[in-house]
Amino acid sequence: MILNRQSFTYRDKTLIEKVTFGSPYRHEGVFENEGCFLYIKEEGARILSSDINFRPKSEEAVLLKCGTYFIDLVKNRKEEQFEVIAFHLFPDVLNGLFANELPNLIMKNKGKSATQVIAPKDTITQFMQSLDFYFQHPSLVNDDLLELKTKELILLLIQTQNIESITDLLLGLYSSRTTDFKRTIELHLHSNLSVEELAKLCNLSVSSFKREFKKKYNDSPANYIITSKLKKGKELLLLSDIPVSEIAYQIGFNDPLYFSRQFKNKFGSSPTIYRKGHK
């Protein structure tokens, strides 16, 4: 759940926001015509999209392309908090700030650029910490300050990513995205995404997604995905000493008891008994 949200608006657009989430929680973000610089203070989040499935380290930031994302916030599966700062990168705002370096090509570019992970750096960390002061004193924030902070972030990113120009950094953020259906499915077999969420990542309606899935896998999404999860669970039971409850979470079950019931239905014994019998 969202515990607290603060934001700064620039020309009727939310430019910077700080959101405190209670864990566990899944947040859906849709960046249709914007890039997004996402900074998560605590470790334990997972970011999912059509082409990524990864867990940022503590104070690691992510530069996200336009698209649909799910952010899973799970901190040892206990009721704890995550603080996320999002810096929304609108092409028209950036074009106004960097008029000489952002040509109109930015929205027409057809190249592909993967989401970029920004490893923890002192400069980025200090920049994000500087924003806390303004969240504590929002009356000090105006358009001039927001323009200054936007420019500062972009220039820091250029140095961090070791690229030559603002254009090089940003062209990829607004390029058209193509989705590889099978790659998206295989990437998220153990992500605990629903059929509806997978359809969103593939930019398809649920009905179109199911038809495409049947065509590609000759099976229904629900049956194929749960079968794949259980096979992975069986593999982990045999090849590791990971507790059954932890295996359940790793392969995409929120409830270890549900995993155990499904496993017994599939293989004829509970995960614990199966492990003992095959060790």
Domain spanning 181-278: CATH 3.30.365.10: no
Q: Taking a C-beta distance cutoff of 8 angstroms, is the pair 182, 128 a contact?
A: no
The Cα-based distances of 75 to 2, 46, 81, 123 in angstroms read 15, 10, 8, 26
Burial of 36 (0-12, 13-18, 19+ CB in 10 A): buried
Check whether the bond before 24 is cis (ω within 30° of 0).
Answer: yes
Half-sphere exposure of residue 210: CA atoms within 13 angstroms, side-chain side: 8
Q: In what order do the strands lie in the sheet with 45-48?
A: 25-31, 67-73, 45-48, 53-54
Residue 165's pLDDT band (cuts 50, 70, 90): low
Residue 180's pLDDT band (cuts 50, 70, 90): confident
**Residue 105 pLDDT:** 40
Using alpha carbons only, what angle is made at residue 114 by residues 113 and 118, rounded to the nearest 5 degrees? 115
Task: Give the orientation angle of helix 256-267 with respect to helix 221-239, to 10 degrees.
Answer: 90
Stretch 150-173: mean pLDDT: 74
Other beta carbons within 10 Å of 223: 10
Q: For residue range 221-278, list pLDDT tens digits in order.
A: 999 999 999 999 999 999 999 999 999 988 989 889 999 999 999 999 999 999 998 8
- Average pLDDT over the chain reads 84
Rounded percentage of the chain residues whose pLDDT exceeds 90: 45
Both structure tokens of 136: 């504590």
Q: How do the domains of the chain map onto residue ranges?
A: 2-174, 181-278
Q: For residue range 130-158, list pLDDT tens digits in order.
A: 999 999 999 999 999 999 999 999 888 87
Q: For residue range 25-44, list pLDDT tens digits in order.
A: 888 888 777 888 888 887 77
Residue 118 vs residue 189, higher pLDDT: 189
**Residue 52 pLDDT:** 81
CATH topology of domain 2-174: Jelly Rolls (2.60.120)
